[in-house]
Amino acid sequence: MLLVKNKIAQSKIHGIGLFADEFIPKGTEIWRFTPGFDQKFTREQILNFPDLLQIYAYKYCWRSKKSGLYCLSSDNGKYFNHSDDPNALSEYRDNEEEVVTVAVRDIQIGEEILDNYNSFDDDKNESNVFNDIVEKFRLEDELDPRLKSLS
């Protein structure tokens, strides 16, 4: 669940992005997985979703390095874009069920909030459900019209 004021808007990086709607000081928790609000799914649950929801899961879920489950932010947190030089970074903590995203530098009002997906997403695993979804629906890339229509 997002813990800071935010808005979504067109991103210069990719599609829609998440932007700060308040000054966010370095060290501020920006997002936290909140059980009961944010969701986790098994591989089998996702593969049993209707087709459109499987494509939605492909676009917006990530595979947790901690639980191995597929997580979905239930708010604008799904609009974090990736950067190799992010202003926020997700981390796993022993006392948290899943990730917490923290500002790694001051973030200005109107600035896009960026995370490095490699810090939390286990999508490199060959048994990843996303590989099955790409194959099943023959998704070409992020420009596939079925993905763009979900933005």
- For position 88, what pLDDT does the model report? 98
- For position 149, what pLDDT does the model report? 53
Are residue 1 and residue 25 in the same domain, yes or no?
A: yes
Residue 46 has phi, psi (to 5 degrees) of -65, -45
Number of domains in the chain: 2
Q: What residues make up the domain containing 147?
A: 39-72+121-151
- For position 70, what pLDDT does the model report? 92
Cβ–Cβ < 8 Å for 101, 28: no
- For position 121, what pLDDT does the model report? 75
Are residue 29 and residue 45 in the same domain, yes or no?
A: no
Cβ–Cβ < 8 Å for 8, 79: yes
**98/74 Cα distance (integer angstroms):** 14
**Looking at per-residue confidence, does 103 or 52 come out higher?**
103
- For position 86, what pLDDT does the model report? 97
- For position 48, what pLDDT does the model report? 95
Residue 120: pLDDT band with limits 50, 70, 90 = confident
**CATH number for the domain that contains residue 89:** 2.170.270.10
- For position 127, what pLDDT does the model report? 64
Q: Which amino acid would we find at residue 40?
A: K
Cβ–Cβ < 8 Å for 101, 80: yes
**59/128 Cα distance (integer angstroms):** 13
pLDDT in tens, 41-100: 999 999 999 988 998 898 899 889 899 899 999 999 999 999 999 999 999 999 888 999
Residue 109 has phi, psi (to 5 degrees) of -55, 130
Are residue 113 and residue 83 in the same domain, yes or no?
A: yes
- For position 4, what pLDDT does the model report? 99
